[in-house]
Amino acid sequence: MTDCANCGHPLGIGRYCTNCGQPVGAAASAPASSPAVDDLDWRTDTAERAPVRPAPPVPDDVPPPPAWTPPPAARFPLFADEVDDAPATEDDVVPPPQTHRHRSRPWGAWLAAAVAVVLVLVVGTWLVSRGDDEPTSTPDPTPTPPATSATEQPSPDEESSSAAPVGLTAESRVTVPETAGPGQDTEGKPVDYEAANMLDGVPETCWRMPGDGTGEELVVTLPGNTRLRSVGMINGYAKQGGDIDWYHGNRRIQQVEWVFDDGTTVPQTLGDTASVQSVDVDVTTTTITLRLVKVSAPGKGSSRRDFTAISDLLFVAR
């Protein structure tokens, strides 16, 4: 290892002195004016001066520090300074800004579509409804009165009196020998068979007693002493609906006797029909005794019911 020719500092492996920066192998320059020992402050002992540490070695491949170059003067940027000669890529291409005209909705197309839809609806409605003069809802069918037998047609008085219960009948009271217990219809609704059902003018309700009622008597009490023109009845359970034939399933009255206060007795033979069957009388009475002379057998199959039934009684005063 050699020393620097300029400052005497040991040289490393670099091309410059790490102490003074003198190139290695250059002639020694005149040393700077360094104070002589005698010129040092007499108060400073040489032992107090810090030792000079050698600079780290500088590698041979490290270039010398470049000379300082002042920066160019400031100027306004020119358009030519921003030109890039490199070919543009997809990422470098900036799409043109969207204008309000491009972002606006095509109101004309929307309006045309709405008009077309309205026209289609109007034409479709006209095509569907033309020629359809009938109401959309089906009216309820008019109830058809029960058919009467061809051999025993009711009189005009009977037809007019069967339309609604007469006040005389509704105001009367009836006493019966026995009444069957309540039951349920096919829909599970409770049904009773009380004697008052014969006086309500509703064929779908009835009085009935269990078994054969032949020989039994029913007593009707009128609201007062009344001159009667006719008496009659519906001689079975005239209820309709469902799969059960209520009229033919129950027992029906076939022959009766009407007995009045003065002893007058009027017999009546009844047909196999679920309508009112009446007989003309001319008596004044307060009570009417209805004697059951003959009763039919119960029906057969699923409609069979072993009960004697009467749906309605009807009394017409003069």
Q: pLDDT per position in the chain (318 positions), as tens?
A: 578 888 888 877 777 888 887 887 765 554 444 444 444 444 444 444 445 566 666 566 666 666 666 666 666 655 555 545 555 554 454 555 555 554 555 677 778 888 888 887 776 655 444 333 333 333 333 333 333 333 334 443 443 334 334 589 999 999 999 999 999 887 888 999 999 999 999 999 999 999 999 999 999 999 999 999 999 999 999 998 778 899 999 999 999 999 999 999 999 999 999 999 999 999 999 999 999 999 999 999 989 999 999 999 999 998
pLDDT value of residue 122? 72
44-68 exposure pattern, b = at least 16 Cβ within 10 A, e = fewer: eeeeeeeeeeebeebeeeeeeeeee
**How high is the pLDDT of residue 244?**
87
Q: Where are the domains of the chain?
A: 1-86, 157-317
Angle at 141 between CA 137 and CA 145, to 5 degrees: 170
- Output the pLDDT for position 84: 52
At 99 the pLDDT is 53
pLDDT at 170: 93
Give the pLDDT score at 193: 97
The pTM of the full predicted model, rounded to 2 decimals, is: 0.50
Predicted local distance difference test score (pLDDT) of residue 21: 79
CATH superfamily of the domain spanning 157-317: Galactose-binding domain-like (2.60.120.260)
* Amino acid letter for position 274: A
